[in-house]
Every structure is written in C-alpha cells, then in structure tokens.
Amino acid sequence: MLLRIDHVGVACTNLEEKIEFYESVFGLTVVSREVNEEQGVREAMLHVADGDQGASYVQLLEPLHPDTAVGKFLAKRGEGVHHIGYGVADVTKALEEIGAKGVRLIDQRPRHGSMGASIAFLHPKDVGGVLTELVESSRR
Ligand code: V0V
Ligand code: CO
C-alpha cells in the first residue's frame, strides 16, 4: 500500500534559516514554498531524490500561529522530526483500508497538501508515536 517515503516533515521555528541550513550543508534545492492556512503552516519542500515511484523530499514546517499542530509540537518538544509522509496510489482507498484495521484517522477524507497532493493524517497514538501522513501525489 505504501509506495515510498514521499517526505519527512521537520518542525522549525525559522523557515528561512532552516532552508539555508539544508541548502548549505546537504546541497538540497527548494522546489516549492507554500502557506497552507488549513494546516496552519508555512512550508518548503526540498528535493532529495527521484525513484521509480516518484520523488522524495524534506518538508520544512514553520507554524503560522502557536495554536496550530506544528506550533503546539514546537512548544512541547522543540524542533525536530514532526511526521513521515508515505506515498500512496489512492489516498481515499488507503484511508478506508487503514481505518478498517482500527487505526484512528485524523482526516476522514483527503485534504489539500503541498504541490497539489491529496493528503490525510493518521493519529500518532495509533502508529507507535509517529504522526503519519498519506500522500497521493498530483504527478504520477
Ligand atoms: C502530537 N503528538 C505527537 C505529534 N503531535 N506525537 C508524535 N508526533 C507528532 N507530530 C502527541 C502529543 O505528544 C500528545 O501525546 C498527543 O499526541 C496529543 O497532542 P497535543 O499536543 O494535545 O495536540 P493535539 O491532540 O491537539 O494534536 C495532535 C495531532 C495534530 C497529531 C492530532 O497535531 C494533528 O491533527 N496533526 C495533523 C495535521 C498536521 O500535523 N499538520 C501540519 C503538517 P501525550 O503528550 O499526550 O502523550 S501539514 C503538511 O504536512 C502538509 C501540508 C503536507 O505535507 O503537504
Ligand atoms: Co507533510
């Protein structure tokens, strides 16, 4: 069901500083920057690699307000890995299958994600403490 790791989401307090870090230390390139009001983030996607099933990225996330998913995470845990996004062929179908196995769905239906993707989150408490995102890429 999971095709690849689409992205690793990293929570940070200063997006511009963190972009510069990933560019200068790892030589990565920003391929997209967006503000996603619904998710409460300003984010950047940095391309890591291309594979048979699509590309993989690092997603740097800065909260728009303290009272958001990433804002609360930063207050509680500080900067670091926030979630893992797995590529799937059909996010609606994947949600159905995973929900039927008793895993709590944060999103009952897909939301708008970075670069036109359809995304949905699974509750970290039901995935061994890992906030897990399903990503149906718009380009396949
Ligand atoms: C919270 N918890 C986490 C966590 N965030 N555990 C692992 N990884 C995380 N990122 C734990 C937290 O420590 C608590 O455990 C418990 O879950 C409840 O957390 P809370 O601080 O009370 O916060 P809640 O319950 O209000 O919200 C937590 C959830 C929320 C996960 C439900 O953050 C959420 O809905 N996230 C999905 C949306 C999201 O993250 N959007 C930003 C990325 P203890 O302390 O009680 O044991 S947007 C994105 O990725 C986009 C746009 C994209 O890829 O395109
Ligand atoms: Co993400």
> Residues 23-75: pLDDT tens digits?
999 999 999 999 999 999 999 999 999 999 999 999 999 999 999 999 999 99
**3 state DSSP class of 31:** strand
Q: What pLDDT score does 140 carry?
A: 57
Domains of the chain: 4-136 (3.10.180.10)
Averaged confidence pLDDT in the chain: 97
Q: Is the pLDDT of residue 118 over 80?
A: yes
Q: Is the pLDDT of residue 22 over 90?
A: yes
Question: ipTM of this predicted complex?
Answer: 0.98
44 backbone φψ class: left, alpha, beta (φ>0; ψ -120 to 50): beta
Cβ < 6 Å from ligand 1: which residues? 9, 36, 39, 41, 43, 59, 61, 69-70, 72-73, 76, 82-83, 85, 106, 113-114, 117, 119, 121, 124-125, 129, 131, 133
Q: What pLDDT score does 113 carry?
A: 98
